[in-house]
């Protein structure tokens, strides 16, 4: 066997001794060829000639750290998740298969996927398959081979939950008997996160005109679950085709979803545009329909069998039902009628194309051009900044064009074409702020009408009602405006310090709750009197030493939801106050423990105190039973955070942090929780972006070829 064949047979070679810093990739005729260098924190830095090579290497490295979640994402996108997780995945499978997106990808992948997207998707799939070949004792055999179709199916299916489609379908189907397959909602089944946690994030940027030293700065600060299918994984990608970024991605994703680099960076925050409508159909048979009526004419319903298998007691139990579709979209036959749901994303294939162009962009104008060209990512706000001083905010939405005059919050008549979508709104018609005169942009899942200075903000009257612009203003949004909006000369230390702010605005819901509780007379109820005294003395801070924060914040969450956005009710707040006082007393011996005693970052049997709370800019959403654990451990909020700082002379610094570390699943790895204490202390690491610097700290250096 030749040396060349030996290389291909081995597929994974350590090349530290034969690759130089000036020549990161040697010439190879292999289908895919990537170099993976793990830095001192175990973060993979992927080098490749082509974007497809980098995706191949990324898949291999990510599989080393997170195969379980990658496999579940692949399965979810296929509609076969319940085969491996049982009833917990059944609603996800029903949702995916009923909408028909995966079937469309399977049918049209070859003709509708661009060559560049296909090469990256298939490179990523090849990397996963190679890792599985090298690890035959894992669960891989039940899921491989993975194909490019699987990767594209992930792009078209997962974004649906970010704009809330699954909640609309759940509400519609709440009375259907065969949907009682699980106590979990579709959202829980699809994303593996609880319903009380809203996906969120912060995106913060200042231009040279607002910084004290003429720098441009960006904070990309996503709030995701600490673990699971939509938890962030950090990687650095370096392609000779033009990608040069470090950032975050989800399991099963071949490209960065939020990133910073020498030239550009962007943050993504969840928004909630109105991207679905529900219609009541007129059909020929309410129980077994074959036709629906449109403008006085009968049309045939599409019928197909929805089949999946649910793992129960070690055996696969088949589930089958008839699925329907009309020109509106997926159709559901219920006792109350026959309904169709139109939703954004069906038949869209350009998600990966758009992300590739975003990853290749060098300026905010390049980035905007990708958005205008494709307009394929359904939702999500973007805050973008570049090294030339440009900053921008985009209320991103693949917005349907609708005939005005209909209340789209209600079920619409499905038998007239006037209510059917008429195409798509141009990207330029959506709210945006580009190079604002005020020099700053802030978004924290709040209204697009309050993201910059008063003269730069979009105005509601310029947009149709059907856009359903977000009206919520989070505490994070209020505090960001109070901090960045009031400081006209922001230093680096202030920029980062404001992002790590742990205070609640006087206009926030929890402070309004406190103001109401101040008016209550406890009478002879000594326990209520003591609890009220703690809460009303609170200064609105979630700092570690604060002895009033725990009772106030936990009461606010119990009364108004995890982010304290729900409607306030005094009776519920009082009941929550008493219950939380009892729990804190039982857990800590007092109703006013230090915040650091009951809200901590925990990993690998250790825990660390930290500042921050729910809906503070330093976001910390903790959960756990105080009776058994004695504290609540972080489960969501600040996760992967990246700070980009570009100087006028062209130099830059990039700082990042992850709540745990690169080893997602391996508790024996030194990188399972090596970033947790740094994260808790609100400190940073600086990923080496130059190969010479990377090699000085590399813990592994290897090459994957196929």
- Tell me: the pLDDT tens digits for 635-691? 999 999 999 999 999 999 999 999 999 999 999 999 999 999 999 999 999 999 999
Give the integer Cα–Cα distance in Å for 509 and 542: 15
Cα–Cα distance measured from residue 253 to residue 127, given in angstroms and rounded to the nearest whole number:
12
CA–CA distances in Å: residue 101 to residues 78, 236, 400, 602: 9, 31, 18, 38
pLDDT confidence tier of residue 22, bands split at 50, 70 and 90: very low
**Is residue 278 pLDDT above 80, yes or no?**
yes
The confidence score (pLDDT) of residue 123 equals 98
> What are 5-16's pLDDT values in tens digits?
333 334 444 444
Q: How confident is the model at residue 400 (pLDDT cuts 50, 70, 90)?
A: very high
Q: How far apart are CA 628 and CA 567, in angstroms?
A: 30
Q: What's the DSSP call for residue 673?
A: S
Q: How buried is 519 (Cβ within 10 angstroms: 0-12 exposed, 13-18 middle, 19+ buried)?
A: exposed
**Under a CB-based contact definition with an 8 Å cutoff, are residues 278 and 168 in contact?**
yes
Burial class from Cβ neighbours inside 10 Å (0-12, 13-18, 19+) for residue 700 reads middle
Structure tokens at 451: 């993201």
Task: Look up residue 466 and give its DSSP letter.
Answer: G
User: For residue range 351-385, what is the model confidence (pLDDT) as tens digits?
Assistant: 999 999 999 999 999 999 999 999 999 999 999 99
Say if CB 78 and CB 269 are below 8 A apart: no
What pLDDT shows up at residue 2? 40
Q: Is 21 helix (H, G, I), strand (E, B) or coil?
A: coil
Token pair of 304, please? 């197909």
**Tokens for 185?**
């909602």
Residue 347 has pLDDT above 80, yes or no: yes
pLDDT per residue as tens digits for the range 423-448: 999 999 999 999 999 999 999 999 99
Given pLDDT bands bounded at 50, 70 and 90, which one contains residue 200?
A: confident
Could you give the percent of the chain with pLDDT greater than 70?
93
| Residue range 465-500, pLDDT digits in tens | 999 998 989 999 999 999 999 999 999 999 999 999
Do residues 176 and 98 make contact, with C-beta atoms less than 8 angstroms apart? no
pLDDT bin (cut points 50, 70, 90) of residue 189 is: confident
What's the confidence (pLDDT) of residue 26?
A: 44
| pLDDT one-digit tens code per residue, 688-699 | 999 999 999 999
Q: Is the pLDDT of residue 86 over 70?
A: yes
Which band of pLDDT confidence, cut at 50, 70 and 90, is reported for residue 161?
Answer: confident
**Quick check: 122 pLDDT over 80?**
yes
Of 180 and 310, more confident = 310
Mean pLDDT of 53-62: 98
Taking phi first (over 0 means left), then psi (-120 to 50 degrees means alpha), and beta for anything else, what does residue 579 get? alpha
pLDDT tens sequence across 584-643: 999 999 999 999 999 999 999 999 999 999 999 999 999 988 988 899 999 999 999 999
- Sequence-separated (6 or more) residues with CB below 8 Å from residue 461: none
- Average pLDDT over the chain, rounded to an integer: 93
Cβ atoms of 468 and 415 within 8 Å: the answer is: no
């Amino acid at each position: 066997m030749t040396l060349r064949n030996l290389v291909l047979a081995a597929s994974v070679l350590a090349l530290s001794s034969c690759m130089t810093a000036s020549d990161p990739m040697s010439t190879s005729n292999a289908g895919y060829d990537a170099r993976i260098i793990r830095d001192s924190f175990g973060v993979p830095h992927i080098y490749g000639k082509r974007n497809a090579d980098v995706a191949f290497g990324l898949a291999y490295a990510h599989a080393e750290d997170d195969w379980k979640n990658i496999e579940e994402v692949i399965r979810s996108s296929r509609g076969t998740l319940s085969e491996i997780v049982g009833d917990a995945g059944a609603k996800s499978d029903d949702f995916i298969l009923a909408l028909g997106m995966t079937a469309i990808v399977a049918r049209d992948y070859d003709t509708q996927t661009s060559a560049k997207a296909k090469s990256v998707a298939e490179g990523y799939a090849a990397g996963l398959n190679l890792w599985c070949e090298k690890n035959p004792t894992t669960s891989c055999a039940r899921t491989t081979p993975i194909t490019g179709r699987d990767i594209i199916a992930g792009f078209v299916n997962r974004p649906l939950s970010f704009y809330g489609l699954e909640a609309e379908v759940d509400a519609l189907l709440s009375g259907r008997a065969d949907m009682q397959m699980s106590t979990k909602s579709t959202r829980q089944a699809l994303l593996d996160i609880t319903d009380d946690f809203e996906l969120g994030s912060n995106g913060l940027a200042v231009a040279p005109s607002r910084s004290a030293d003429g720098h441009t700065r960006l904070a990309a600060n996503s709030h995701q679950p600490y673990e699971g299918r939509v938890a962030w994984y950090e990687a650095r990608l370096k392609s000779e085709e033009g990608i040069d970024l470090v950032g975050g991605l989800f399991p099963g994703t071949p490209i960065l979803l939020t990133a910073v680099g020498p030239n550009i960076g962007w943050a993504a925050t969840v928004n909630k545009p109105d991207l679905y409508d529900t219609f009541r159909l007129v059909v020929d048979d309410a129980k077994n329909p074959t036709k629906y009526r449109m403008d006085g004419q009968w049309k045939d319903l599409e019928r197909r069998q929805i089949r999946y298998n649910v793992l129960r007691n070690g055996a696969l139990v088949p589930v089958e039902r008839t699925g329907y579709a009309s020109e509106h979209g997926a159709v559901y036959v219920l006792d109350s009628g026959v309904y169709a749901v139109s939703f954004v994303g069906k038949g869209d294939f350009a998600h990966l194309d758009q992300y590739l162009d975003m990853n290749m962009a060098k300026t905010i104008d390049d980035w905007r051009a990708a958005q205008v060209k494709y307009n394929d990512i359904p939702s999500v706000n973007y805050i973008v900044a570049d090294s030339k001083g440009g900053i921008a905010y985009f209320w991103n939405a693949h917005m349907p064009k609708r005939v005005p005059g209909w209340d789209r919050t209600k079920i619409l008549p499905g038998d007239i074409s006037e209510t059917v979508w008429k195409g798509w709104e141009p990207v330029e018609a959506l709210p945006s702020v580009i190079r604002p005169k005020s020099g700053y942009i802030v978004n924290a899942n709040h209204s697009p009408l309050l993201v910059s200075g008063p003269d730069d903000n979009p105005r509601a009257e310029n947009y149709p009602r059907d856009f359903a612009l977000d009206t919520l203003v989070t505490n994070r949004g209020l505090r960001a405006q109070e901090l960045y909006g009031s400081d006209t000369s922001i230093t680096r230390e202030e920029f980062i310090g404001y992002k790590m702010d742990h205070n609640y605005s006087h206009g926030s819901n929890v402070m309004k709750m406190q103001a109401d509780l101040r008016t209550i007379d406890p009478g002879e109820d000594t326990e209520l009197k003591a609890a009220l005294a703690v809460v009303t003395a609170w200064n609105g801070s979630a700092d570690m030493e604060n002895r009033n924060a725990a009772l106030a914040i936990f009461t606010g969450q119990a009364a108004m939801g995890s982010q304290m956005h729900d409607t306030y009710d005094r009776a519920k707040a009082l009941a929550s106050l008493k219950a939380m006082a009892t729990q804190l007393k039982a857990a800590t011996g007092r109703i006013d423990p230090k915040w650091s005693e009951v809200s901590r970052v925990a990993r690998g049997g250790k825990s660390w105190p930290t500042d921050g709370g729910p809906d503070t800019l330093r976001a910390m959403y903790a959960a756990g039973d105080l009776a058994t654990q004695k504290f609540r451990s972080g489960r969501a909020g600040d996760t992967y955070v990246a700070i980009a700082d570009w100087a006028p002379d062209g130099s830059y610094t990039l700082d990042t942090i992850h709540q745990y570390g690169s080893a997602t699943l391996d508790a024996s790895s030194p990188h399972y929780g090596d970033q947790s204490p740094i994260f808790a202390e609100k400190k940073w690491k600086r990923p080496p972006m130059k190969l010479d610097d990377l090699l000085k700290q590399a813990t592994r250096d290897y090459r994957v070829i196929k």
